[in-house]
Chain A
Amino acid sequence: MRISCPYCGTRDVAEFTYQGDATITRPDPASTDQNTWNAFVYDRANPAGKHSELWQHSGGCRTHLVVERDTVTHVITSVAFAGAKRKPVSAAAPKRKAPARKAATRGKAPS
């Protein structure tokens, strides 16, 4: 697999580090809602098909990139600088619905 870095050009995947699902938005740091934090840390859609991912060109210009990739065919349809696409931390909650969870499935908050 090769990724076309918007700065460096097309490079081997060995120069890049996977940084996770790009559709996840960090919750408000002040939030104490455990469902929200649980979803942020653990819930991933793991799609077979189109996926939006964060990659860092760690063996090159070191910028973070948002890569639109098909997880079945590895075809990459777009690569953009993450800073240009990502919303700041205070942005609204993620659009993707986290699966509903029962409170009982989670650990208790430390007392």
Chain B
Amino acid sequence: MVERESPLGPAYRPGRHGNVAEAAGVTLSETRPGSIVEVVSWPGSEKAALAAIKSATGLALPNMPGAGVSKKDKAGYGFAPRRWLIIDGREGVEQQLQKAVSDKIGAVNDLSHGRTAIRVSGPRAEWVLSKLFAVDFSAEAFPVSNGCSTAHHEIFAQIQRTGKNQFDLIVFCSFARAFWTTLCHSAEEVGYEVS
């Protein structure tokens, strides 16, 4: 595979930033998964597509809007009708999905090189994200493993809650540095660690 370069460039500055009076409110990181793949099913083939995703990745996604599964090194969720996003630490998951999802079921789109995965974790993760997106991030409205698609000032973002205080964001590579910079600014008041 082609060596991937982070689009965050010099904006990615590991270390402790912002408010240092207290413990860091959030930790920001780029998770760099090997595969980010979109699976689409034709109308009526939703169950077959979910079965194919399970056979290829082991992820048993519920057939519910926004519902997903989040494991240590792989995750998936529905982000639109008949559309699911699969994120896997390994490279080449797209080929496995291509084999499992026949053209009678739907289509598979490899986005691994076109998206950047950013993780926001820590006790103030909900607070910081609430400043950026008009989405309810409380655990009741946005339970662990659920995902959604939304936008920050026209920058499309897909967000999954991957832990009690942890969210994984997928943004376009081309907007990743701008979004990352905004995210850092938003985290300044609570103090943040880039790791």
Binding site for B on A (CB under 8 A): 7-8, 11-12, 14-15, 58-63, 81
- Closest chain B residue to A2 by CB distance? B134
Complex Cα–Cα for A59 and B79 (A)? 12
Binding site for A on B (CB under 8 A): 65-66, 79-81, 83, 134-135, 148-151, 154, 156
Residues of A within 8 A of B150 (CB): 8, 11, 15, 59-60
Whether A8 and B149, one on each chain, are in contact in the complex, defined by CB atoms closer than 8 angstroms, is: yes
Complex Cα–Cα for A14 and B65 (A)? 21
Whether B134 and A7, one on each chain, are in contact in the complex, defined by CB atoms closer than 8 angstroms, is: no
Residues of A within 8 A of B151 (CB): 14-15, 58-60
Residues of B within 8 A of A12 (CB): 134
Whether A60 and B134, one on each chain, are in contact in the complex, defined by CB atoms closer than 8 angstroms, is: no
**Subset of 29 A-B contacts with CB under 8 Å:** A7-B65, A7-B66, A7-B80, A7-B81, A8-B65, A8-B66, A8-B148, A8-B149, A8-B150, A11-B134, A11-B135, A11-B150, A12-B134, A15-B150, A15-B151, A58-B151, A59-B150, A59-B151, A59-B156, A60-B149, A60-B151, A61-B79, A61-B80, A61-B81, A61-B83, A61-B149, A62-B149, A63-B80, A81-B81
User: Distance in Å from the Cβ of A80 to the closest Cβ of chain B?
Assistant: 12
- A-side interface mostly: loop
Whether B134 and A15, one on each chain, are in contact in the complex, defined by CB atoms closer than 8 angstroms, is: yes
User: Distance in Å from the Cβ of A19 to the closest Cβ of chain B?
Assistant: 17
Complex Cα–Cα for A59 and B134 (A)? 11
Q: Which of B79, B83, B134 contacts A14 (CB 8 A)?
A: B134
